[in-house]
Amino acid sequence: MSLAQTNSPDTVAAPERGVVDRVLVVDDSAAQRKILGSHLQRWGYRVLKAASGREAIEVCAHEDVDLVISDWMMPEVTGLDFLRHFRTMERQHYGYFILLTSKSEKADIAEGLDVGADDFLTKPVSGDELLARIRAGERILRMERELTEKNRLVSETLQQISDLYESLDRDLVEARRLQQSLIRERHREFPSASVSLMLKPSGHVGGDLVGFYPINADTVGVFSLDVSGHGVASALMTARLAAYLSGASPDQNLAIEFDETGAPIPRSPARVAAKLNTVMLQEMETDLYFTMALGHIDLKSGQMVMTQCGHPHPLVQRIDGHVEFVGNGGLPIGLLPDAQYEEVTVPLNAGDRVLFYSDGVTECENARGEMLGEQGLMALAGKLGEQRGNAFLDTLLWDLTTFADDRDFGDDVSGLLLEFVPQEPCDEGPITLIRQ
C-alpha cells in the first residue's frame, strides 16, 4: 500500500525537537518503509528501519528508540508480537508505539491497547494525520520525561533528607550521651545522707536536669530543674545551667559563696534563684525559661532550706510512711525581671527522705488521658516504702510506664531522691509552708 497524499506533510510545521529523536519504522513492505522514512527525515527525525518484527527486536536491543511506527500484519513475528516484547524491554524512558493497521474491529483495537499500543493509524495513512499522531506522542513523552525528571529530583531530595536525618540522628544520639554525662553519678553516699538520680528524656534529648553538689563537710546542695520546651534548645540550656550548679567547679557554682577565711558556705537558695533569674534575662538571649526546686541540707541537723521556682512540690516521705508535699510554688526563672523567691525550711529526721521530680511525673497520662497527679504519686511512693536509693527511682519509673500503658512518655521524666540517715538522732521540728 502507498502512503496517502491527501495533504502534503511538507507544508506542516514539524514537531518540537528534543523529546523524540529516533523513530523506528517496522514494515515488511520496502515501499512503505521508504515512504514513511522519507517523511520522517524531512521532519527532522533520525529514522531506523526494520523489515520484520524479529529484526525490529534486534534493533531495539542495541538502539534507544523513542517512537515506533509498526505494521500490525507481518509474517512470523507480527507487530503485536513485537509490541509485547517491546514492552518487556528495560528502557531508560517510555517508548511511544503506533500500530499501522487495516483492522477496524473494536475487539482488535482493544487487544492492541491491552498489549500496550499507544495509538493506531489506519491504512492508507494520511501524512497530516501521521504528523498529528506523532505530535500527540511528543506531548505524552514530554510529560513522561518531565515526570521522570521530577521523580528523580524528588528521589534525590528524599535521599538527601534521609542522609541529613541519619546524620542528625547520630548527632542527637551523641547529644543524649553527653546530656546523660551531666549526671556523672547516679548515687552518692554522704556521712549522714545519700542522693540518687534518675533522668529519662522523652526524646533523644530533653530539658530536665537533676543533680547535687557538696558545699562543705556539713552541707550538700540538691536541685531539680525543667527548661521550657523540648529538644536541642532545651538540652543546650540544661547544659549551660549545669555549669552554674556544678559540684566539680565550686568557684563557678552560683549556689556557693566563701566566707572571710575563704571557706565555702551555702548561698541562700532564694538568692541563687534570683541570681539565675538575672543571668537568664540579662546574659542569655533566649525566650526559654525554667522551673526549679533547689535545697541545701545540713548533714548534722537534718534541716533543708529550699526554694521552689514554679517547680512541682517536692514530696517528703517520713520513716513511718506518711507522705506530704512541701513548698510554696513560686515563679519560674527567666520570665520576670523583678521576680521574688521565698524559702521554706523542712526538718528531716532519721529515715526521712525527699523526692524532687519534674512535672513529667505528675502529668504522665494513661491511655484514657488521665494524669497521675500528686495523689497518684503519693500512692506510688507509699507502696515503695521499703525501696531505697536507685531501686526506689527505678521502680517508680517502672510504675509510671505501667500507668502510661507502656506508651512513650509525653514529657521528660526526672527525679532526685535525698535520704537522710544521720549518725545521731535529730529532734523533730516544725515544717514551714507545707502543703498536703
- Considering the domain boundaries, does residue 332 fall inside one? yes
Mean pLDDT rounded to a whole number for the chain:
86
Statement to judge: residues 299 and 430 lie in one domain = yes
What pLDDT, on a 0 to 100 scale, did the predictor assign at position 207? Answer: 83
Mapping DSSP to helix (H, G, I), strand (E, B) and coil, where does residue 216 land? strand
* Residues 45-65: tens digit of each pLDDT: 999 999 999 999 999 999 989
**pLDDT value at residue 381:** 93
Model confidence over 383-414: pLDDT tens digits?
Answer: 998 899 999 999 999 999 999 998 988 888 99
In a domain, 414, yes or no: yes
The pTM of this model reads: 0.64
- Residues 380, 430: one domain? yes
Domain hosting residue 425, numbered range = 182-435
For residue 15, cis peptide bond before it (omega within 30 degrees of 0): no
User: How confident is residue 182, by pLDDT bands cut at 50, 70 and 90?
Assistant: low
pLDDT value of residue 432? 41
Compute the distance between CA of residue 292 and CA of residue 436 in angstroms, rounded to an integer. Answer: 20
Residue pair 109/122 in contact by the 8 Å Cβ criterion: no
Q: What does the pLDDT average to over 268-297?
A: 93
Same domain, 271 and 393: yes
> Given a cut of 80, is residue 177 above it in pLDDT?
no
Domain assignment of residue 11, yes or no? no
Same domain? 241 vs 305: yes
DSSP structural state of residue 251: G
The tens digit of pLDDT for each residue in 199-215 reads 988 877 778 899 999 99
The CATH number of whichever domain residue 352 belongs to comes to 3.60.40.10
Confidence grade of residue 126 (pLDDT, cut at 50, 70, 90): confident
| Domain CATH code at residue 120 | 3.40.50.2300
Whether residue 340 sits in one domain with residue 262: yes
How does DSSP assign 344-408, residue by residue?
A: EEEE--TT-EEEEE-HHHHT-B-TTS-B-HHHHHHHHHHHTTT--HHHHHHHHHHHHHHHTTTPP
Does 232 map to a domain? yes
| Boundary (domain end) residue, out of 97, 129, 150 | 150
Q: What is the mean pLDDT of residues 306-333?
A: 94
Q: How many domains does the chain have?
A: 2
Helix (H, G, I), strand (E, B) or coil at 314: coil
**What was the pLDDT predicted at 333?**
95
